[in-house]
Structure 1
Amino acid sequence: MRTYGDQLLYGIAKSYEISTDGLVYTFHLRDAFYCDGTPVRAQDFVYAIQRMLADENSTRPFMAYPIKNAAEVHKKELSEEYLGVRAIDDATLQFILENPTPYFLQLLALPTFSPIPSEKESSEIGKYSLSNGPFRLKEWKQNDSILLEKNPYYWDADKIQLDQVEIVISTDFNKLYQMFLDQKLDVMPVATTDVSPDMTPYIHYYFNGANDFIRLNMDGSCPLNNKNLRLALNYALNRNDYVDSLGSDDVTASARYVLPILPGAHKTFGEEYPLEAFPLNGDTQKARNYLKTALQELDLERAEDIQLELLVTDDYWSVTEAQIIEKQLEETLGIQIDILSVPYNTHMNLDTIHKFEMSLSGWIPEYADPATYLELWTSDSSYNCASYSSEEYDECFQTANRQMDPQSRMSLLAQAETILLEDAALIPLQIRQSALLKNPKLINFETYYINAEYEYIYADFTS
């Protein structure tokens, strides 16, 4: 499968069937070729997945875990012959899953599941930069440029209008900006603060999938295992003022967790299940009422007896966000917030080992389904850094992913998000946008919030 914009399309598959129990996916492959003319076979997909699970340096092996026995094969508890994927013949590929996985087709559109020719040596694949997409590598000048040319062997080559794509690599903004002005660049990523007003006709904003929130550690090592204190923090924050203070068009205040532009059953998830768990302008009185109850439950006398540490990365943007949040929470609640800024890798490590109280965090969806956000908070999730545990949430999420009816499933996922926010397991903050300058003559160029942000497969130029 592949994606284009927010559409899920056929890739090497020309058709598929799903068994009535949702456990068996059978794909029928079209006649397709790598860029050197070698046929793409079902065995290549099997080999690629086996390799992903066997390679110790693989970065996304868990993406294959919905496949039967994939986790055990990755952990070397079972040999690869037990993996639930097989080539029935050269043109028929079959997957057997552990459980029904309604977003499995979305997973298969990721590069993780791209085929690798099983009959070629890895050195040969590297030598030819073998690929089976609409473009192939023609030239790569390290730290300067990458030149792609149209792949004559691509199965849908007749619909590819561009003869080549050149990617310019540079950290010199002024150089790139001048190239755009001189019409030597057609697409240029920018920060909104770098764009002069006269460039407004050329700027394009799009949600990049990132949302930001504050994790609240509930493992009992700090007062945040108290639900009323977590609710007080959420109601105390005026998210609109916070975003205004940032002074950036790149962020939009949000009081929910799941990215609302993800697909639902028929419309976007946000359109089908609108949610504002906390008022965007905050509610000072409600925040102080929750704090009063929390102080009683924590056997504390004064608000200033609560001292919380906010962990952030030491970049300018994160520290600025933290300072605004610190000021708001201290002024509204009278508690004390201490900011701890550390390098990115240290931040990630402290999150992973649960050594924080509050942590400024974020998530970018791995695939186009609400489950990519919600699976982080199940009791057994390795990404559940905040030690959140709710039998109701776990049951709701697990029941959702056993549903074959899309509407029933989405309703349960929306219910899970509501449970998470009613428990105030996190403080939602904002969803982020990216911006780019684009040649207005460039058409059918798409942006997407999953995996590759730029899609130029069907791009063309008008006269």
Structure 2
Amino acid sequence: MKKTTKMLMSSLLVAVGLAACGSNSSSSSTNAANRLTMTTFGELTTLDSADYDDVPSSDMMGQIFEGLYRVAANNKVELGMAAQEPKVSEDGLVYTFTLRDAKWSDGSAVKAQDFVFTYRKLVNPQEGHVAQSADVFKNAKKIRSGELPVEELGVKALDDKTLEITLENPAPYLPKLLTGSRFLPQSEAVAQKLGDQYGSNVSNVVVNGPFKLEGWTGSELTWKLVKNADYWDASNVALNEVTVNVSKEVATSVQLFDSKQVQYTTISDQFVDQYKSQPTFHAQPKATMGYMSFNTLKPTTANQHFRRAIAMAYDKQALTNNVLKDGSIPSTGLIPKSFATNEATGKDFVDESGDFLKFDVQEAQKEWELAKKELGVSEATVTLLTSDTGTSKLVGEYLQAQIQKNLPGVTFKLQPVPLKNRLELQRASDFDIFYGTWAPDYQDPLNFLEQYITGGGINFAKYSNPEYDKAVDAVKSTYATQPENRWNQMLAAEKIIMNDAVVAPIYQASQSYLLAENVKGFEVLPFGRTVNLRQASVQ
């Protein structure tokens, strides 16, 4: 009864929020004002680029901030805050950027020191931010581990407009990396003044991107993006206003779209079949991976055989075909298909790595028997933590039914909570298993592999394997400029973690969505942030 009430209240809140924004009911007034209304699947958790762990927050930050590079049409990378391509040293380690004339939304200038402050914040263990993706910077890893002070990070402001970045090893993927939400700049003056309150609501942040965010004090289910007149490229931003509404149930989202209350929404399950022949239907293959992650600090889920049993006990093909029905495909590894290609052979990473944890009831039951012996039990009860969105609940219920059917003696409970609460529980290691999705920031298998190094900032599993750490470190350092060896080392690293089964792969997502025909230039991205609104317009 409580679950039903929450679902109805969520739908009512969205409907009330939309009713209050009456301008969207008239297509002519909406078009004239270049206003867009859209849904997102979860609430905002923060506007602090160093502190987010969720897609909705990343999506919104990508619209209100801009880094040295920005995402252009067709997911290409182009200059953002950088006025020109950087000067690069012969050894490929030192990049010198010149910043363009740009302002924060409070009128102050965007300075090189703002980037220095932000990147230091990413690796400062005293701040609690230890983003391993920042290990590309000189000394970042030693700073994260507490061996060096944060001032030793390889990032310097030579003057207000000149930023020097020194890398630990050559990184040809640096421009793509720097488009990621994690590397979006913060105003040093504002962030230092506000401390822990920075990014907690729209009053506690200043922005430098195409839009400003309004109407979010920390808990709302609807907010607005408003064109930022101070953005350096504002003349090429068509949209004046975007209303964003949290809609956790697909049925509600579809109803809102059909009644012309929103112009963009994602869909799944039976609604894909219903709408796939319509001109408003679109599908974008994604590098986003759906998976379960196990808490290695808990006795039951610390057992490798138990993890392997769970990971092989559910039919992934049936899930994607009969439940999700949105073009998603089964996954048996950590890395998505069509994401990385061997330069020497032309083969896909997934094709070379093979199947690790495929659906196999017999093998799953063998692993369960071994787990029972090692744990000294005849049965086990674990809880799967999920978000309370429609898709998350569907996946959770499917996994529950499959695992309890195929592993007699395992009781598989569900704990659906709001996304913000799920992330809090993950950070506190207060879970047995969680279900989530991961969208890479840049196109390299390393972006997935580095999540699980010992002490990694988003290694919620608390996984620690020296052999794995060594393999990932070699990818970043020893073999950084040796493509074939680097590739093989990434294959080896994936094999280690899949054998340990700290991650149970489920599916690779495909984003099905509905988009009004009068909306142009609206891009759903294959990886990184979900959407790019800077080039969108309403005709």
Give the aligned partner of residue 367 of structure 1.
Answer: 441
- Extract unaligned runs of 5+ from structure 1: none
Give the aligned partner of residue 25 of structure 1.
Answer: 95
Seen in structure 2, the aligned counterparts of structure 1 residues 427 and 405 have a Cα distance that, compared at 3 Å, is same
Q: SS where residue 25 of structure 1 aligns?
A: strand
* Contact 2:181/2:441 (<8 A) preserved: no
Does 374-383 or 97-106 show the bigger shift? 97-106
Question: How much does 1:456 deviate?
Answer: 2.2
1: distance between equivalents of 2:412 and 2:445? 31
Give the aligned partner of residue 340 of structure 1.
Answer: 413
2: distance between equivalents of 1:436 and 1:131? 29
Give the aligned partner of residue 495 of structure 2.
Answer: 418
1:453 equivalent in alignment to 2:523: no
Give the aligned partner of residue 167 of structure 1.
Answer: 243
Question: How much does 1:416 deviate?
Answer: 1.4
2: distance between equivalents of 1:34 and 1:411? 44
2: distance between equivalents of 1:317 and 1:171? 11
Seen in structure 2, the aligned counterparts of structure 1 residues 157 and 324 have a Cα distance that, compared at 3 Å, is closer
Give CA-to-partner distance per residue, 1:362-388, whole Å, 9 cap, x none. 342452232232123334446545564
Give the aligned partner of residue 132 of structure 1.
Answer: 208
Picking from 148, 157, 161, the partner of 1:87 is 157
- Map 1:261-410; keep pairs closer than 5 Å: 261-263=338-340, 271-274=348-351, 275-278=353-356, 280=358, 282-287=359-364, 294=370, 298=374, 306-313=378-385, 315=388, 321-322=395-396, 324-329=398-403, 331-332=405-406, 335-342=408-415, 344=417, 359-365=433-439, 367-368=441-442, 369-381=444-456, 383-386=458-461, 388-402=463-477, 403-406=480-483, 408-410=485-487
* Contact 2:131/2:458 (<8 A) preserved: no
Give CA-to-partner distance per residue, 1:192-240, whole Å, 9 cap, x none. 555783573212233565433333566693486355x655554443322
1: distance between equivalents of 2:121 and 2:455? 26
Give the aligned partner of residue 146 of structure 1.
Answer: 224
Seen in structure 2, the aligned counterparts of structure 1 residues 182 and 161 have a Cα distance that, compared at 3 Å, is farther
1:257 equivalent in alignment to 2:334: yes
1: distance between equivalents of 2:154 and 2:400? 50
Give the letter aligned to residue 12 of structure 1: M
Does 209-218 or 450-459 show the bigger shift? 209-218
- Map 1:132-281; keep pairs closer than 5 Å: 132-133=208-209, 135-137=210-212, 146=224, 148-149=226-227, 151=229, 154=232, 156=233, 160=236, 162=238, 164-169=240-245, 180-181=257-258, 185-193=262-270, 197=274, 200-206=278-284, 210-216=288-294, 221-222=299-300, 225-227=303-305, 230-244=307-321, 246=323, 248-249=325-326, 251-263=328-340, 271-274=348-351, 275-278=353-356, 280=358
* Contact 1:2/1:10 (<8 A) preserved: yes
* Contact 1:277/1:422 (<8 A) preserved: no
Q: Which has the larger radius of gyration?
A: 1
Give the letter aligned to residue 97 of structure 2: F
* Contact 2:383/2:412 (<8 A) preserved: yes
Give the aligned partner of residue 22 of structure 2.
Answer: none
2: distance between equivalents of 1:355 and 1:130? 33
* Contact 2:263/2:515 (<8 A) preserved: yes
Give the aligned partner of residue 3 of structure 1.
Answer: 71
Q: SS where residue 260 of structure 1 aligns?
A: coil
2: distance between equivalents of 1:355 and 1:122? 32
Question: How much does 1:106 deviate?
Answer: 3.5
**TM-align CA RMSD:** 4.8
2: distance between equivalents of 1:172 and 1:387? 29
* Contact 1:260/1:271 (<8 A) preserved: yes
Give CA-to-partner distance per residue, 1:22-79, whole Å, 9 cap, x none. 5433223344455677654323323444566789878676664543455777899876
- Map 1:114-129; keep pairs closer than 5 Å: 114-116=184-186
Q: SS where residue 450 of structure 2 aligns?
A: helix
Seen in structure 2, the aligned counterparts of structure 1 residues 353 and 47 have a Cα distance that, compared at 3 Å, is closer
% identity of equivalent residues: 23
TM-score of the superposition, structure 2-length normalised?
Answer: 0.65
1: distance between equivalents of 2:248 and 2:415? 27
Question: How much does 1:359 deviate?
Answer: 1.5
Seen in structure 2, the aligned counterparts of structure 1 residues 178 and 409 have a Cα distance that, compared at 3 Å, is same
